[in-house]
Amino acid sequence: MSDREKLFFIDNLRIALIILVIAHHAGQAYGPGGWWYFENPDRASILGAFFAVNRSFFMSLFFMISGYFLPASYDRKGAKDFLNDRLRRLGVPLPVFLYVVIPLMMYTYYLNFRPYGPIPFFAYYSQVYFGRGARPLDWGGPAWPDRNLGHLWFVEHLLVFALCYAIWRLIRPPLARIDRRQERPPQHLEIIAFSLALTAVTFLTRIWYPIDQWSAFLQVIQVAFADVPRDLSFFVIGVIAYRRNWFLNIPKKTGKVWLLIGLAGTAYCYGLWLTGHKYFSAGGFNVPSLVYDLWEAFLCSGLCIGLLVFFRENLNSQGALAKNLAASTYAVYLFHVPVIVFLEYAIWHTPTAAITKFFIVALAAIPLTFLISGFIRRLPIARRVL
């Protein structure tokens, strides 16, 4: 079996994760939580547990997978080509969404949900992006900055991490050759120690930066500091995992144990939501925040390790369909939110429960986004980026 064939499970895991991301964002209009591009009048509270579990691991797992492939890309291309590739692939979509796609979705929101009368698009756009006077937020808009990258914060962070990795490779000594087959993967006690350390750092960070508090770091980087310890640490783990071949060396038994831990944490969260005992806090110096951070760290470690091993042992083959889906995952991440928002508006006045609308939008958005993304990435203008 070739090295590429050994890693089909990672492609399959990425497909599963991007489907979960689509479902997560499809629920934003229909569950409890923060602002979204569409406001459904009623909400399904059980989606709160769905959001809590998802946000605790799935982007960190994406970061870990991204980190895993970074060293090989740098080794193969060298610093100059590596940076050019990252800037083209990750940098180009950022201004397109910042100045075109997201303003259109924001304008649609203001047009439909702000009771201030119609606002011409050019006036809205010029005030948000170029004006210094009154802006839509001053007219009673949501507590969310107009000029933001939305879900592309992940792409921006990947670009920053890649740039930092390139700098680190330039200033450190040459890498020693490692027999990747012999590198011992982390043991249970080491994973527990890491999870406890992550709990401590996350708890301290969230004293000052609670969950979902977004900032413009250096006036450029859109960041929620509450999640940086988790996401950054799993990205670094991905880089280390490549050098030490952990993805292929983690024992099956270890994967089973940590998958059970992750699933137990998931069941615990849903149990709390169903019984109304939400013993969690978004931050602050208090016991509920510490409990939340402890639960989140072990759930994240459990699902990241457990799902990786599960897919490696059970889903490590790839047919034509999976190959095409895997090739489109990045484009799907970029374009899934506009598709979801379109569908939410399309069924706006359907007389049905919020949870039913969630399933309708999610089940429609998954195939539709893959189809649209597959078409877009084949366009000559998009091939080099997507």
Confidence band, pLDDT 50/70/90 cuts, at residue 131 = low
> Can you tell me the mean pLDDT for 182-205?
93
Residue among 68, 25, 62 nearest 47 (CA): 25
CA dist 62 and 154 (Å) reads 9
pLDDT at 207 over 60: yes
Q: What is the pLDDT of residues 290-344, one digit of tens each?
A: 999 999 999 999 999 999 999 999 999 999 999 999 999 999 999 999 999 999 9
Q: CB neighbours of 92 closer than 8 A, spacing ≥ 6?
A: 385
Q: What is the pLDDT of residues 333-380, one digit of tens each?
A: 999 999 999 999 999 999 999 999 999 999 999 999 999 999 999 998
In order of 6, 47, 50, the CA distances from 54 in angstroms are 27, 10, 6
pLDDT of residue 133: 42
2-11, 97-106, 117-126, 243-252, range with the lowest pLDDT: 117-126
> What rounded mean pLDDT belongs to the chain?
88
pLDDT at 108 over 90: no
In angstroms and rounded to an integer, the radius of gyration of the C-alpha atoms of the chain is: 21
pLDDT of residue 246: 94
pLDDT of residue 123: 74
pLDDT of residue 135: 46
Instruction: Report the b/e string of 272-290 with b at 16+ CB within 10 A.
Output: bbeeeeeebbebeeeeebb
CA dist 283 and 203 (Å) reads 7
Percent of the chain with pLDDT strictly greater than 90: 67
> Can you tell me the mean pLDDT for 134-144?
41
Report the DSSP beta bridge partners of residue 217.
221
pLDDT of residue 106: 84
Instruction: Tell which wins on pLDDT, 175 or 16.
Output: 16
Instruction: Tell which wins on pLDDT, 134 or 362.
Output: 362
pLDDT of residue 256: 97
> Which tokens in the block code for residue 240?
């280390």
32-46, 137-151, 275-289, 363-377, range with the lowest pLDDT: 137-151
Contact between 110 and 120 under an 8 Å Cβ cutoff? The reply is no
Percent of the chain with pLDDT strictly greater than 70: 89
* Dihedral sign for Cα atoms in the order 347, 348, 353, 358: positive
What is the residue extent of each domain of the chain? 3-376
CA 225 to chain centre: 14
pLDDT of residue 376: 93
pLDDT of residue 277: 73
> Which tokens in the block code for residue 362?
């999610």
pLDDT of residue 150: 87
Instruction: Tell which wins on pLDDT, 87 or 381.
Output: 87
Confidence band, pLDDT 50/70/90 cuts, at residue 132 = very low
Confidence band, pLDDT 50/70/90 cuts, at residue 200 = very high
CA dist 145 and 137 (Å) reads 8
pLDDT of residue 115: 57
> Can you tell me the mean pLDDT for 42-55?
93
Whether pTM exceeds 0.85? yes
Tokens 């910042």 label which residue? Answer: 98
pLDDT at 90 over 70: yes
CA dist 386 and 155 (Å) reads 13
